[in-house]
Structure 1
Amino acid sequence: MFDALPAVAPLDEARLERAVSRLRADLLDAQYSILEQGRTPVVLLIAGVAGAGRGRLVNTLNEWMDPRHIRTSAFGPRDEAERQRPHMWRYWQALPSRGRTAMIFEGWYSEAINARVERRIKRRAFWHTLHEIQRFERMLAMEGAVLLKFWLHLDADRQRAHFRALERDAATRWRVTAEDWRANRRHKRICKVAEEAIRLSDTSHAPWHLVDASDAAQTELMVGRIILKALREALAGPRKPLAPALPPLVVPSEQPAQPAHAPSKPMRKDAYQPELERLQGRLNLLLRHPAFARRALAVVFEGMDAAGKGGAIRRITHALDARNYRVHPVAAPTEHERLYPWLWRFWRDVPRDGRVSLFDRSWYGRVLVERVEGFAIEADWSRAFEEINAFEQEWTEHGIIVCKFWLEVSSDEQLRRFNERGRQRFKRFKITPEDWRNREKWSQYVPAVQDMLVRTHTEQAPWNVVSADDKYRARLAILDALCDRLESELG
C-alpha cells in the first residue's frame, strides 16, 4: 500500500508560493462559510510514521486557517482520569461543535496501532478496536460531520536520513529522540499494522488519504487541497446516504421479564421500612467491596411521568457516601448541547472507578420523547437503538455496571398521583402542564416503550421492568435487583 504511493512533481518556489497563497485564502473562505452555516463539524485526523512532519502539518493548518475556531488535541499515554473511563471517552471530549474544526494529532488509530505493534493486544482485540472506531466514525458522519484521515508516510531509508540530518545540526539535534530511532528500527512492522488498520477502516464517509511526506511543502499543499475540496462539497449540500450499518456489536438478549402481578393491597409502611433499611445496608456494603474500587456503576431510570423515578433514586442515595455518587437529571438538550452529536452530553457523565452515576431519564429520550414528539426524524431515532447498544457496550467493556430500570405505572395510578401532586403544596413543583400534555399521548408512548425494551435489552445491559403502582414495593424491588446485579458482577 505505502510502496505504491505516487510521486508528486515538485513545484518551483515561485509557483509553490502562489499556490499556497491562493489555498490559504480559499481555506479561510470555506472555514468561515462552514462556521456561518453552523451545520457541519469538521474533524481532521493526522497520523503517520515518526519524522513525517505531522506536527509541522498541524501547525501549518492552524496558521493557514483561523485557529480561534480550531481545537487541536494531541493524545499521548493515558493519564489517571482517562484510564478510569471507557476507551473512547477522551476522544469524545475532543469533538468539535457544529461549524467548528477539530484537529486530532495522534488520535484513536495511533493508540490502537502502537498497542498492536508493541504486541500489547492480540489481533482479535485490534480488530475489535477498529470495529469500535468504525462505529464511532459512522455516527459522526450520520451527524453530518466532515471526517478526513491523513497518513503521512516516509520509507525507512528516508526516515533514517531525516533523523541523521537533524542530529548533525546542533540546533535541531533535540528533535530526534530515542523513541524516534526505536520507531525506525520497527518501521516494517509499523507499516504492516498501519496498512491493515487503514484497509479495514477506509470508508466513503471517513476516507483515508495516504500522503508521501518526503517533501514537507508539497505535503502541506496536498493536504490543504484535500481539505478544501471536502469543505466545498459539504457547503454544496448533503452527501449521499451512507452504506448500511455495520453488523451489530451486540445481540439483544431475550425480552425483559414483565413484572409479576402486583398484590391487590398496597404494602404497609411498617412492613416497608425495616426491609428498606436492610436493603440499603446491603447496597452500602456491596459498594464498599474491594472489587468495586476497580469498577463503576451507572443506574438508569426511565418511566412515564409520576412513575416514581425520583423517589427510587432518593432511596438509593440514602445508602451511599455523598462523595462517591452523582445524580444526573436529564432534560431536553440545551442549545450548546445540540451543537454536538446527541450522545456527546452523556459521555461527559461517565462515572470514574469506584463511583456511581444515577440518571433520572437518560439517552433513551432519543427513542421515547424525541420520537413521540417528532423532535427526531425516524431515520435518527431508528439508528439510535444500534448506537445505544454500542454505547452501553463500551461502558460495560470498561467495567462499568449498567443497570436499567423501567418503572411501569398504570394510567389510572398516574392520574391519581397527578391529582395528589396538584393538591399538596410541597408536591406542586412535581406537576407541570407538560406532564398533562404528555399524558394525552399515552397511546403513542406505549409502542415506543415496547420497541425500546425489546431492541436495547442486552446481556451486558439488561432492562429491569418494575411494577410501580405500589411505590413501596417498587423501591424494594429496585434495591433488591441492584444488589443482586452487584453481587453477580463483583463475585
Structure 2
Amino acid sequence: MFEAAELGRKISRDEFDAMAPELRTELLALQQQLRQADFPVIVLFAGVDGAGKNETVNLINEWMDPRWIVTRAYGKPSDEERERPEFWRYWRDLPPKGKVGLFLSSWYHRPLVDRVYGKTTLAELDENLEQIVHFEKALADEGALILKFWMHLSEKAQKKRLKGLEKDPMTAWQVTKTDWEHYCLYDKFTSAAERLIMHTSKGHAPWQIVEGADSRYRSAVVLQALKDAITKHLANREAVKKVNAEIKGKAAKGKKAAAPDALVSQPSILSSLDMTQKLEGPDYTKALQEQRARLAHLYHVAKEKGVSTALVFEGWDAAGKGGTIRRLTNALNARDYQVIPIAAPTEEERAQHYLWRFWRHVARAGRVTVFDRSWYGRVLVERVEGFCTEEAWRRAYGEINDFEEQLTQHGIVMCKFWLHITSEEQLARFNSRGQIEYKKWKLTDEDWRNRESWGLYEQAVNDMVERTSTSNAPWTLIEANSKNLARVKVMRTVADALEAALGKAAKIKKK
C-alpha cells in the first residue's frame, strides 16, 4: 500500500515559490466562502512519526486565517476525559459550520497504538475502526467535509528524519523516546496502518497517502487537495440545498398527507397501555417514600463507585415530565445532578451536528444527568413538523443507537421514559392550566397546534420505540394519566436499573 509513497518525490524551491502565491490566495478566498457555508471542514493528520504532520498543520494556519481554524492535538486522556466515553472529547472539539478543524493524534491514534503494542486483537481493532466509520459517516451525512491525510516515510527516511531533527537544537525537542520506540516497531505500525486505512477509507471520508520526505512536496499535495475538496464540496452543498428546498416545499403543501390516514389509524404500541391504572392516597404516599429512599441509597452507592446515570424524558405536552423529574431529583443531592431542558437549538448548537449539544452534557463519573426532552426530537418533532428531511430522520435511528451504545458501554446507566396520556386527558390538563395563574405560561399556541398532529406523533413514537428500544437502552412506557402512578413507576424503574448495574455492592450495603 505504501510503495507509491516511497518514490522520493520532490518539488524544487523555485517550483514551490511559483505556485504558492496563487494557491494561498485561492485558499483564503475559499475560506471566506466557507464562513457562510452550512458545513464544517474536518482535516485529520496521521502517519509516521517525523513525516511532517505538525509542520503541515502550522503551514495551513500560516497560509489561511487562523481565526476560522480550530486546531486540536491529543495526548493521554485527562481524568475528566477518562470519566466519559472516549469520543466525548472529539465531539466536544468539532468545528462549527463555516470553520476548518485540524486534528492531530485523534480518534485513530489509540486503536493503532494499542494494536501495535499487542493490547488488542485484530478483531478488537476492527471493532474500534467500525465505530470510527460510524462516527465519521454521521458527521458526513450532516454535511461535514472530512479529509484524512496519512503522512508516510520509508523506514530509512524516517530514521534520517529523526536524526536530522535531533541534530538541530531548534527542533531536537520534537523527537522523543516514544518516537524511537515507534521506529523500532516500524513494520508492526505499517501492517496495522494498512488495515486501518483499508477499513476506514470510505467515500464520505477517504484517506490520502502523502509522501512526507520532502517538505515542499507534501505541503503542495495537502494544500492542493484541501483547495480542491472545499471547492467541490461548496458546489455539492449548494445543489443539495436546492433539492432539499424543493422537497420541503412539496412536503409543506401536503403536510397532513405525509402519513396516510390508514397508517395513522393503525394501533400503535401506545394503544396497548392500560390507561385506567391509578395510585391514590396512602398507597401513593407509601410507595413514593419507599422508592425515594431506595433511589437515594442506590444513587449514593453509584456515586461512590463512579457510576453515572443518564435519564431521558419524552412525552406528550402536559404529560407531567416536569413534576416527575422534580419528585425524582428530590432523592438526590443537588451537587450531583443536572437537569437539561431541551428546547429549539441555539445559534451555536445549529452550527454543529445535532448530537453535539447532547454529547457536551455527558457528565463525569458518579453524576446524574436528566434530559427533559432529548436527541429524540430528531425523530419526533423534526420528523412530524418537517424540520429535517426524511432521509435525515430515518438515518437518525442508527445514529442514536450508536450514541447510546457508547454511553452504556462506558458504564453509564441509561433509562428512557415516554410519559403517555390520552388525548382526552391532555385536553383536560390544557383547560386546567388555562385557569391557574402560575401555570398559564406552560400553555402555548404550539401546544394546541401539536394536538392537531396527534396521529402523526403517535406513529412517530411507535417507530421510535420500535427502532431504538435496545437491550442496553430500553424504553419504559409510562401510563401517566395518573401522575402519582407515573412518578412512582419512573422512580422504581431508575432504582431497578441502578440495582442491576451495581449488583452485589448495592445489596450488601442495603443490609
TM-score bracket for the superposition, by shorter chain length: over 0.9
Shift, 1:39, TM fit: 1.4
Shift, 1:165, TM fit: 2.3
Shift, 1:222, TM fit: 0.7
Shift, 1:160, TM fit: 1.1
Shift, 1:145, TM fit: 1.0
DSSP-derived class of the 2:42 partner? strand
Contact 1:256 1:463 in 2 (8 A): no
DSSP-derived class of the 2:119 partner? coil
1:447, 1:294 → 2: CA distance? 38
Matches within 5 A, 1:405-444: 405-444=417-456
Q: What whole-Å deviation, never above 9, does each CA across 1:266-298 have from its counterpart, x for those lacking one?
A: 432332122211111100101111576332100
DSSP-derived class of the 1:285 partner? helix
Unaligned runs of 5+ in 1: 242-254
Shift, 1:221, TM fit: 0.8
Q: Which residue of 1 aligns with 2:114?
A: 115
Shift, 1:3, TM fit: 2.2
Aligned CA distance change for structure 1 residues 426 and 42 (closer, same or farther; 3 Å): same
Q: Which residue of 2 aligns with 1:3?
A: 3
DSSP-derived class of the 1:414 partner? helix
1:65 lines up with 2:77 in the alignment: no
1:262, 1:438 → 2: CA distance? 21
Match of residue 453, structure 1, among 449, 459, 465: 465
Contact 1:300 1:405 in 2 (8 A): yes
Shift, 1:125, TM fit: 2.0
Contact 1:291 1:490 in 2 (8 A): no
Q: Which residue of 1 aligns with 2:274?
A: 261
Identity of aligned residues (%): 43
Aligned CA distance change for structure 1 residues 115 and 422 (closer, same or farther; 3 Å): same
Matches within 5 A, 1:55-454: 55-238=54-237, 261-263=274-276, 266-289=278-301, 293-454=305-466
1:107, 1:33 → 2: CA distance? 27
1:198, 1:9 → 2: CA distance? 22
| Structure-1-length-normalised TM-score | 0.93
Amino acid paired to 1:300? V
Comparing 345-354 with 10-19, greater Cα deviation is found at 10-19
Shift, 1:422, TM fit: 0.8
Contact 2:418 2:477 in 1 (8 A): yes
Contact 1:256 1:465 in 2 (8 A): no
Contact 1:303 1:309 in 2 (8 A): yes
Q: What whole-Å deviation, never above 9, does each CA across 1:29-69 have from its counterpart, x for those lacking one?
A: 11111113x21210000111111111111100111111110
Unaligned runs of 5+ in 2: 241-267, 504-511
Contact 2:6 2:153 in 1 (8 A): no
Shift, 1:260, TM fit: 5.3
1:365, 1:180 → 2: CA distance? 46
Shift, 1:259, TM fit: 6.8
Q: Which residue of 2 aligns with 1:245?
A: none
Shift, 1:402, TM fit: 1.0
DSSP-derived class of the 2:49 partner? coil
DSSP-derived class of the 1:319 partner? coil
Contact 1:40 1:146 in 2 (8 A): yes
Q: Which residue of 1 aligns with 2:13?
A: 13
2:205, 2:172 → 1: CA distance? 37
Shift, 1:94, TM fit: 1.5
Q: What whole-Å deviation, never above 9, does each CA across 1:458-484 have from its counterpart, x for those lacking one?
A: 011000011100110111111111111
Amino acid paired to 2:33? S
Shift, 1:262, TM fit: 4.5
DSSP-derived class of the 2:94 partner? coil
Aligned CA distance change for structure 1 residues 153 and 412 (closer, same or farther; 3 Å): same
2:430, 2:169 → 1: CA distance? 78
DSSP-derived class of the 1:108 partner? coil
Shift, 1:258, TM fit: 7.7
Comparing 47-56 with 421-430, greater Cα deviation is found at 421-430
1:148, 1:225 → 2: CA distance? 12
Shift, 1:389, TM fit: 0.6
Amino acid paired to 2:202? T
Amino acid paired to 1:5? A
| Structure-2-length-normalised TM-score | 0.90
DSSP-derived class of the 1:95 partner? coil
Q: Which residue of 2 aligns with 1:250?
A: none
Aligned CA distance change for structure 1 residues 291 and 177 (closer, same or farther; 3 Å): same
Contact 1:275 1:476 in 2 (8 A): yes
Comparing 71-80 with 288-297, greater Cα deviation is found at 288-297
